[in-house]
Structure 1
């Protein structure tokens, strides 16, 4: 038995469970092959589609949303299914022009098909790895007959293409093989697609001509093409291969450079056998039982070409080198070399499995948490594409984790000659700081173990943990509480408002902070006044201040959060919604209902248990009122959408019936216009909604030219927060030091 071979009899030891037969137009013959990816998606060559349509093989013209007949050789031959073309990556020359007839090499040439429904077992996806020189690979004719296999060797891998040489005995790669998977028997994974063959010219064969040479596109190149064309959404690729899209030409050099550190760390054959056997078991590969050790070169080959093999090995080696400076240095060198490969990744199999489970659990409870933590943890970096959406689903988490793994350093200083803290660990620390109880503790313990395995200095991790805890305290609604009342008299100038401001002390008493004549003020004047009051509140914690603005019903769409409170000498603008939890209240409406106060208290107390209700253009005023009286009697959170006029009526109904939390988008002029409410992250822990809205506002203010950006308005009528006419004012002499 050889080391690190795929188990026989297992579906992962053979690609035929994923092999697809592409049928000709009349179903009479095999036009080519394909491979099942996942989630109803199939992959084949564009020139196979052209063959089915009777067009020139390398025609670049997009055929549109055509439907092809396909079948799976592992199922019945009569089980023919329809697959619709959903992505077209045309054949192209290296100059990005059309491919001439008779060309021996081209780029692109991929097509993605989608089935109407999932195929049944034993059809299934395969594991993918990068193509590399020296791999022994197998291809099958599209019809999948057992005798149709063709064994070839990747003789050269150059510029994304693998040139495949076959022996004179056995089948040769020929027509009908294109688009099928190239299966590496040693790695137990698919490494590319069959693309074409190189044959002797038509005018006669010479001994100098190529015999049985074909070529295929390496998986790393396929992945680049798919991502560049956005042909397959990332969730479809999650679990197949999560490596970076870059193609590293130094693979062989990296493999050679790994030999030295491995000799130092595992020069003893007994130790090498023990660690290699543990690694093989974790990877699901075979290991001999006769006590023989794999060569260091064989081990290096595995580490360079098998996903997560290197960090998984390092996980078992790290405890052995804790008190061995030379061993630790060699392990650090080995991990650094792994960053030059596409397969190593940052986390071991066990580390990845554990973190993925926790992130999916957290995302289910709060779809915006991972986005907020990453934004705070990596303030100077553009977030990965997969994290730019403020609200994630569980299905998107694997791809987010895969991208964060590629960010190896967070840029902050570390003790001399120690590795930088990976950005992923910093994000995990922020997640832990924002998560109470056992889950937060588990995340910190996970971070401790990974940091120790990577050789990160404990002080670096402690510093990032302290940053996360400070952020968590700031994000909590534990800052000053400022109450504002706005009103507008008929004789006042347009866009001017009478303003009263109170600051609540920790003991619940209130200090009125505005002296002088009651005069109409502009929005910026009021914003500067609020900033001064909040800045003078030094006895109410260091969290983000809550500014609750009571407005008349006709002013609920007033953009108070956008009012700029920057002084004349300040360099940067300072809109109120950027620095404060700016929320609205409208007590006049609730007083129009005899049960308004009781409704508010009941709904507010049930806010943690009740879900949210969406009221949009399909819902009338009476319908909404009926729901709030019956099936949603305890609902505390309503999301309102629709035209400005219709939306305004729905908001009034909510407030009159004591709904304490109402969220809408002022930018949405009509249904479907502007960003959806999902962009304002309404879900997640209800008490964190003001902070989530503040995050959205910060992004909007930074992109002021984007007319389609969300402009969230939030009514937050805390039943425990007094209203202006309910305030028990302190002795004026006690509050004069805070007066403005």
Structure 2
């Protein structure tokens, strides 16, 4: 590799491009140093954080999600804010416990910070290698001044700690150096972090005392600690070094590259731009890199191929487009290429980070709707996605192939990631929607996706968003009991879901046990005061404990003392039950629920009656012939019915119907048509069918049936997953 050079390959280059200055709380002085890892993350020492906060230097106590002022002193002026996201406390060197005062060395002592925004473009990650004895390394003061460098040699290294000896000339490692990278110019890599210095004891100096000896943590021990706390940098990032090239793939790339960039001047121009995007040095002598070297770079440098394609695509004719498509297809055979260019990836992360902070449920909802037949990554199976998990989710989505829908003229299929982005855009609306769609359109054009294919998926997303937006009033209720509560009294919390997905909690005395009548009145008031009340029947979803699935919540009457007409909740609302505690006891429960819920319109219902001998047979059916079944009707005597019901919920069945009043012989009046609501027909009509049946059953004493319905809408958050609205906006009712 001669035309492209990594910064570390230049003997004059160093790690100051990744050096971080950690400021004191008053910004008056430098608390210490740090180093840029990747993304928005920075690495420093825990004792540097303590120093910045004015705490005892080696205090092991986690200060929490504090925010510090940091800067990149060598490359960018001005301070930025970074939040503490991972804490490895200082601990005694050879055992767990606090570090004693006066200790010369210790373990742990790491902190990971996350910037509020992307670092400025000149900042880039360093390459990391393991430390070894004999290496000549350089450290810098946190202020980043060029003259502050201190050159030392690794005199001894046990894999955990490296002892560093300096010459009696030049600067010495001192206060303010802690947390900074130990840079090996010969290797072009950082090999550890500065930790502390070993000073001579007090009193008169003796020639036998240690002079200019300091110590640092080796990269191998730092990496182990970061892995333990889940904060290790992505091994696929550029900081981790090059990916091994597949010689056969590299050789196959040479032909298309000759056709696309055979002219040296054109190849030099595109290669210079590519090198700048990758943070590589390139020659400025008018030469162009050999095609073979360019092919090697495309196979080994992360996002190099899509970044080159981004600059090539706008000017290509049909012949050139075919060669670029061939290159991109070859790139899928490597570990380095990726789907997005560096600029595309950075732009998407910025947009999604902002949207996720506003609506943590946006990406999981969009991914579930856009990819109903795909087993989503773990980060997208939860109801909420944290901003720090966005990069990992995007990386996983990048690896999935295009959708299975037909495309015109043998053009590429729309990638799964772009389909999710389209659904997120449709759900967002406004300027944010336009920004995401513009991004998606540019990437699709660069990939050669036909405009009609993108338009069809965009229309699908719009239809989904329109359908999900018209869900009407939704009220969530959570019931619980304390051991000393009076019989038939329950603790109650109530939320009203807003159209934007936020939840408004009613201002109630949540700690007071209430009767069923009191709870029913509260629910009626909350639902009746919601925007759009009266336009359609409201959904009231009640979360209960496993032993409360038998509660007659639907019969609780919320009519006031002066009202003529009774008002059982089950008559006026789509009263459904939820029991997440059972599902959470299953390792696969969350994934099962999402899969079955997505298949609810096409899967056939299952009748669990006397023909199913026991729960073992039920489990076997739900794992095999009814793996996607979303609807189960449970019948039989109370004990057996309860057991089958719980197994259904544990296996993620979202819709379960049973007769709460059925005795030992099972239901006297079957729940199947023509007498009962049944499970057949359009799924979304079932809550209304159950409500109609309840109205008739409550009025006719000859109908002893009391249908209970579990309705676990995978797109409706549970109480402990709610995104709460701003309390300053007020609530509808106070009791």
TM range (shorter): 0.3 to 0.5
Instruction: Please give the TM-score of this superposition, normalised by the length of structure 2.
Output: 0.46
